[in-house]
Structure 1
Amino acid sequence: MATPGSPAAEGAAPAALRNPVYAALSGPHAAIAQVRGRARVYPSDVAPFLGLPDAVTEQDWHDAAKLVGAGRLVATMRPDLPVPDVFEPDRQFDLVQFLAPADFGADEPEAVVLGPDDVPEMLGLVALTDPGPFRARTIELGSYLGIRQGGELIAMAGERFRLPGFVEISAVCTHPGHRGRGLATRLIRAVVAGIERRGDQAFLHTGGSNLTAIRLYESLGFSVSHQSKVTLLQPA
């Protein structure tokens, strides 16, 4: 199996997966995208991600700065990219992308579909567990499933980036008081089952320093397809 940084990992990802934000905002999520020139960004209450084409020009950066606007922090998700003076870098971290194995999905009888009325509780679980960006309208990007105990939402997972042929698993989190029961794995399988039924392949991201998550996904049969960096930046 490829490991982060290996040649096999670098060459395995299709073009769309190497620039997933732009592929999503240019494709299945085009209707929600805010656009100026070739630059694309999610609304701030949906997700913090900025999409730029593979070959970024100076004009693309200027369009992006005007599109994002002063004071807003956004994130790019791609290999290390020189940032011009129109943007001010904030911080950066490594990212590993995994592809789900074939036929990984399995329905989960305890899973419930989460909707807009569940968002306050979902935001509370995210604040407690920090699985990555999840905002008031992130739920509009795909399907989200949860597991409840005594009426309380104790675990959830869902879909974020949609690319042609691929859907990203995101917001995987479990209440600290209920970890060690395999809830996250069960929900990941349930989300993947829905993705597979639509004929798409599931993928996900985790931080390059999150060795616990990397080992978990490898143990489940996920394979590294690509590695990149998340860079947080704002218009200068």
Structure 2
Amino acid sequence: MTTTVDRELDNPVLHSLMGPHRGVALRDGRAARFHPEVAPFMAVPDGADEEDWRGLARLTRGVPGLIFRPAADLPTDWKILHRIEGVQMVGLKTRAWTAEDISLLGPTDIPEMRELAAVAEPGPFGARTAETGTYFGIRKQGRLVAMAGERFQTDHWVEVSAVCTHPDWRGRGYATKLVAALADHVRGRGKEPFGHVVGANTSALRLYEELGCQVRRSVQATEAVPLDSAPPM
């Protein structure tokens, strides 16, 4: 039997945009996407009909988006730009951690966060991505060298995202510490953490596995745009 929790994890972007993240969402009927400066993700309901896809097309405004659906599930009047294979992971077990190096990041830290993301490449990180939730960071020698934060949020789940460490500071356990701190922060609000990992990112997979995570399902994120607004080849 499919539960509410299952439905949320099966379509976390939609549940996020229609729920806790409706303040940073663009919506058209049952279709929704994040404001492009927040995140590139978009969604339609399971069993979407033609009007849902038309609504999503209107929301793109010519800006491609990422949707957690196989490319084969998209209508024929959408142009496929890129496919990303990955997994959804749950069951995070918190490790002991100390707060001495961890700081709460805020609006004044965004330039540093974006600079770190550009070097460490944790995934899409725009000018307003930090609005999706709490972000923790670690500073060394006066610079931000590691961070992790919250992205998709549903009624029961919070995605741990943007986990990254500057290449010069890797191998010190900073990512593990930040993920553990975020997991405790999420559970302190009565929700459960989960994550998405690109299949080719073996270091991230290893991190989540070391923290006790298990693969719930495979996912495919497809970057696409309606044909009538697709950029020229």
* TM value normalised by structure 1: 0.90
Amino acid in structure 2 at the alignment position of 1:187: L
User: Does structure 1 retain, via aligned residues, the 8 Å contact 2:64–2:223?
Assistant: yes
User: Does structure 2 retain, via aligned residues, the 8 Å contact 1:132–1:171?
Assistant: yes
Deviation at 1:109, TM superposition (A): 2.2
Amino acid in structure 2 at the alignment position of 1:65: A
Amino acid in structure 1 at the alignment position of 2:214: S
Segment drifting more, 200-209 vs 92-101? 92-101
Match of 1:62 among 48, 54, 57: 54
Partner residue, 2:186: 195
Q: Which residues in structure 2 correspond to 1:1-236 (within 5 Å)?
A: 14-70=6-62, 72-79=63-70, 81-104=72-95, 106=97, 108-236=99-227
Matched residues in 2 for 1:54 and 1:29: separation?
Answer: 19
Deviation at 1:220, TM superposition (A): 1.7
Deviation at 1:82, TM superposition (A): 2.0
Matched residues in 2 for 1:140 and 1:42: separation?
Answer: 11
Q: Which runs of 5+ in 2 are unaligned?
A: 228-233
Cα distance change on mapping 1:51 and 1:219 into 2, 3 Å: same
Amino acid in structure 2 at the alignment position of 1:32: V
Deviation at 1:214, TM superposition (A): 1.6
Matched residues in 1 for 2:32 and 2:92: separation?
Answer: 31
Partner residue, 2:230: none
User: Does structure 2 retain, via aligned residues, the 8 Å contact 1:107–1:193?
Assistant: no
Q: Which runs of 5+ in 1 are unaligned?
A: 1-12
Deviation at 1:104, TM superposition (A): 4.9
Segment drifting more, 119-128 vs 108-117? 108-117
Cα distance change on mapping 1:200 and 1:106 into 2, 3 Å: farther
Segment drifting more, 127-136 vs 213-222? 213-222
Alignment RMSD: 1.7
Cα distance change on mapping 1:23 and 1:147 into 2, 3 Å: same
User: Does structure 1 retain, via aligned residues, the 8 Å contact 2:69–2:219?
Assistant: yes
Q: In percent, how many aligned pairs have the same letter? A: 41
User: Does structure 1 retain, via aligned residues, the 8 Å contact 2:117–2:164?
Assistant: yes
Q: String of CA shifts for 1:86-134, please: whole Å, max 9, x gaps.
A: 3211010212111133555745321101111110110000000110111
User: Does structure 2 retain, via aligned residues, the 8 Å contact 1:105–1:196?
Assistant: no
Matched residues in 1 for 2:94 and 2:173: separation?
Answer: 19
Segment drifting more, 95-104 vs 132-141? 95-104
* TM value normalised by structure 2: 0.91
Amino acid in structure 1 at the alignment position of 2:32: R
